[in-house]
Chains A and B, each alone.
Chain A
Amino acid sequence: MDITEYFSLVFTDYTLRTITLGTALLGAVTGMLGSFAVLRKQSLLGDAISHAALPGIAIAFLITGAKDSNILLLGALVSGLVGTFWIRAIITKTHLKSDTALGLILSLFFGFGMLLLTFIQKQPNANQAGLDKYLFGQAATLVESDVWMMAIVTGICLFVLLLFWKEFKTLLFDADYTKTLGFNTKFIDILITTFIVLAIVLGLQTVGVVLMSAMLLAPAAAARQWTNSLATMVFLAAIFGAFSGVFGTAISASQNNLSTGPVIVLVAAVFVVFSFIFSPSRGLLFKQIRFIKNRRDLELHKTLAFMHHIAETHENISHPHAIKLLNNFQGFTKKTLQKLVEKNYATIDGSMWSLTDLGFETAANLYTKQSTEDE
């Protein structure tokens, strides 16, 4: 099946439609909440939480013996929250730094989860075959009820985001100020963290424990490059996330042997790379172009100043001089000279140049002017 076939099938085929909808919703909700994680400098929290959720899945299975994904995800949610609060306790109560706390909880919980998983595998009721999918995720196992679940959670997220928008926003940018305003920062903090955990847990089935953190980060990091406004960023991140989900599913469905999770992550990574390079205000490409342009401007100024310096020594400022004179000077290029002529700052006659009145005036005020507009 190639991609065009996929797009024709997506509206008719039940399974494909479910999976596509599921990954799109997932991308949207993780993108939305990921924006907050990225801005709060909690990017790696997602990684830690998704790993910390594993023992919860195993314990939920051990207790109930059911493979109902909602119950397993509830276990994941509880264990993810336990991990999060333990990380918090380590950071606030001891002198261990946040990176240590994150790495510690991540690896310890994951190891414990693996112990439980292998323990379950050796149990006589060999009903456990589905638990492995939480490691790397299997979008193909998404069913309609899962998608409904995601839709509901996305809806709740959206509602809470809108309801507490200004609280989230002030907390994000100035926590102390929020506190002095009388908001219960602890509550807002816990609320947003809980929703981040919830979004991660939702994605475990589709993308898996290991790659979930990228789903949270990548759309938000890409969106951050295009805007400085929180609302736009959240919106863009949701869009990027949703498109990563859709394209990722399309690519993996059109090829054999491609699991959806890694493909979605790579598509999201492409979004990030594209944004890093091509974003107009922050992107590397335009930054480089601006850098070169500034250097040119500077060189133009330098040449003009040098010419002014020479012209100053003569009574007639338009007295012609040899272009050769400029040669022992670094800033001079044929192009800058041409540009000066274009701007009517200088005239060239054969191998001689002379400053115009306008050029002389500009050069004299070059470094005394308060504001220098772009040349």
Chain B
Amino acid sequence: MNSAQIEIQLIASLVAIACAIPGTFLVLRKMAMISDAISHSILPGIVIGFFITQDLNSPLLILLAAFTGIITVVLVEYIQKTGLVKEDTAIGLVFPALFSIGVILIAKNANDVHLDVDAVLLGELAFAPFDRLFIGGTDVGPKSLWIIGSILAITIGLLLAFFKELKLSTFDKGLAASLGFSPAIIHYGLMSVASVTTVGAFDAVGAILVVALMIAPAATAYLLTTDLKKMLWLAVSFGVLSAISGYWFAHWLDASIAGSITTMLGFIFLIVFLFAPSKGIIAVMYREKQQRIEVSLLTFLLHLKNHTEERERHVNHLQEHINWQKVRAKTVLDLALKNNMIVLNKNIVSLTEKGDTFTSKAIDYIITNEDAQIEDMKADFFLFRG
């Protein structure tokens, strides 16, 4: 591994961390699409900034472009406030228009601007180590490393300073406002950090990867935990993990690093989406199936309790009366037997004492409209779950 490779991985990891922090809050505040809008609409800001400064890495350009990002947010909110269209439509209208202006500005000045729309959208991480920063003649490392490093430092500083305010306003806006934290300041503060991060990172990794790095790690982490601190740590680790593995994947494939990091992010998300312990799709589907069977079981027990006559309690009757398929009826019957809720006597089903208590309690909960309590009660009665 040579020094350029180490530097690329370092830059990618720093970008990943710098994006994951505001990204977590954007995801929690249901504003993930705003990051997409910002990442597109900074283009005119970058182009105009480039006309003025003639340097893609100048701080002025970053500020100008970040300012365009804020304008996007303000415009979206203004359009939304007029009530003419919904918020998502407002987002969808604003950023393509701004992006088009950027593309046209570039096209009309193609001779003066050495700026490529592809480069803005996709970035080229592989070239990042060649643009170096010299202080007093000594080489102190790649420019983008310093830019993203300072942005990250500011982000972490703000996060530590305002963690409690951010947390509160994210989860309970009303309480935060009544305690005197201005929701507007926190909102625009977060938006500014997101804009600055997007602009600072676009040069290295491109605008689209910024969106991926903001949303994907946070969304993945959200599937695994509901604790904000843990979520932040998880998001950061997922970001760094995909940054480094993505780099080597790109190295092996000889393709775009940004694209490959995104692919890694997608891969990690897919794995977590499928296998996350309680919120993954497999766990959810298993739980849904379990609940379906347990609801059937309850229906069955209620039926038994209601009928004393033997004809109604015959095994074969289940199928006709409750209209279950054979397999389902058998599963329910087995489950009830395993849990000692019923006894079978010459194909006549009757409730045991335990089954009777369970059913009576369930009825009590149902008629008092506290169905949710049944779920807690199941733990006391069930030896085996559905």
Q: Which residues of A contact B (CB under 8 A)?
A: 38, 41-44, 46-47, 51, 89-90, 93-97, 99-104, 106-119, 122, 132, 135-136, 210-211, 213-214, 216-218, 221, 224-225, 257-259, 261-263, 265-266, 269, 272, 276, 282, 284
Contact = CB atoms under 8 A, between A and B. Distances in A.
Nearest to A100: B32
A103 B259 CA distance: 16
A257 B259 contact: no
Given A116-B255, A225-B84, A276-B82, 7 more contacts: A94-B279, A107-B215, A108-B212, A108-B216, A214-B93, A217-B93, A262-B103
Contacts of A213: 92, 96
Interface of B: 27, 30-33, 35-36, 40, 79, 82, 84-86, 88-89, 91-93, 96-97, 99-101, 103-104, 107-108, 110, 117-118, 121-122, 208-209, 211-212, 214-216, 218-219, 222-223, 250, 253-256, 258-263, 265-266, 269, 273, 279-281, 284-285
A108 B256 contact: no
Interface residue SS majority, chain B: helix
Contacts of B265: 108, 111
Given A43-B89, A110-B262, A114-B256, A211 B223 contact: no
Contacts of B261: 111
Contacts of B223: 94, 96
A276 B222 CA distance: 38
A114 B256 CA distance: 7
Nearest to B272: A94
21 contacts: A93-B281, A94-B284, A99-B32, A99-B33, A100-B219, A104-B219, A108-B212, A114-B122, A114-B259, A118-B256, A119-B254, A211-B96, A213-B96, A214-B100, A221-B84, A224-B84, A257-B108, A258-B108, A263-B104, A265-B97, A284-B84
Nearest to A279: B84
B263 A111 contact: yes
Given A108-B266, A135-B118, A118 B255 contact: yes
B85 A38 contact: yes
Contact of A218 (B33, B40, B93, B214): B93
Given A96-B219, A107-B208, A112 B96 contact: no
Contacts of B27: 96, 100
From B93, B122, B215, B280, name the one whose CB has the most chain A CB atoms within 10 angstroms.
B93
B217 to A, nearest CB: 10
Contacts of A259: 103-104, 107
Contacts of B91: 43-44
B262 A104 contact: no
B89 A38 contact: yes
B88 A43 contact: yes
Contacts of B259: 111-118
Given A43-B86, A258-B108, A211 B100 contact: yes
Contacts of B107: 257-259, 262
A144 B259 CA distance: 34
A205 to B, nearest CB: 17
A296 to B, nearest CB: 22
B281 A89 contact: yes
Contacts, number: 197
Nearest to A97: B30
Contacts of A115: 250, 253, 255-256, 259-260, 262-263
Given A103-B32, A108-B266, A136-B103, A119 B255 contact: yes
Contacts of B266: 108-109, 111-112
B85 A107 contact: no
A109 B219 CA distance: 15
A257 B99 CA distance: 16
Q: Which 3 residue pairs are nearest across A and B when measured between Cβ atoms?
A: A111-B262, A115-B259, A214-B96
A104 B269 contact: yes
B104 A112 contact: no
Contact of A102 (B33, B82, B108, B209): B33
Q: Which of B256, B269, B284 has the most chain A CB atoms inside 10 A of its CB?
A: B256
A47 B92 contact: yes
Nearest to B33: A99
A260 B83 CA distance: 31
Contact of B33 (A90, A103, A257): A103
Nearest to A215: B96
B36 A106 contact: yes
Given A112-B262, A112-B266, A269-B93, A41 B208 contact: no
A274 to B, nearest CB: 12
Contact of B208 (A110, A225, A258): A110
A266 B97 contact: yes
A221 B76 CA distance: 14
A102 B32 contact: yes
A341 to B, nearest CB: 38
Contacts of B250: 115
Interface centre among A51, A111, A216, A263 (most CB of B within 10 A): A111
A107 B36 contact: yes
A210 B121 contact: yes
Nearest to B109: A257
A28 B18 CA distance: 42
Nearest to B31: A99
Contacts of A110: 208, 212, 262
Contacts of B36: 47, 103, 106-107
Contact of A214 (B32, B92, B219, B280): B92
Contacts of A282: 84
